[in-house]
Amino acid sequence: MPLTPEQIRRDVAAALGEDPADIPLDGDLVDHGLDSVRLMTLLERWRRDHGVRADFADLAETPAIEAWAPLLGAA
């Protein structure tokens, strides 16, 4: 099942222990506590569950949901 921006937001919020409503689509997720280990964990899950092919550097370079959506097949 392909990812949607909302699903990305929910997953990110869960990883950060935040309410999805508090996670912006266009803001820098690092400011919200995203770090390499959490990102790696998310990416592994998305690869497993959603067949995502993006690599770590792709996502880490622009850590924002809007920027990720095309890379994660959710655009």
User: Which positions touch another protein (CB under 8 A)?
Assistant: 16-17, 28, 30-31, 33-41, 56-57, 60-63
Kind plus residue range of the DSSP H or E element containing 13? helix 5-16
Nearer to another protein, 6 or 41 (CB): 41
Closest separation between CB of residue 41 and another protein, Å?
Answer: 7
Nearer to another protein, 4 or 24 (CB): 24
Give dist(CA 66, CA 63) in Å, integer.
9
- Of 28, 17, 14, 26, which is closest to residue 63 (Cα–Cα)? 28
Nearer to another protein, 40 or 75 (CB): 40
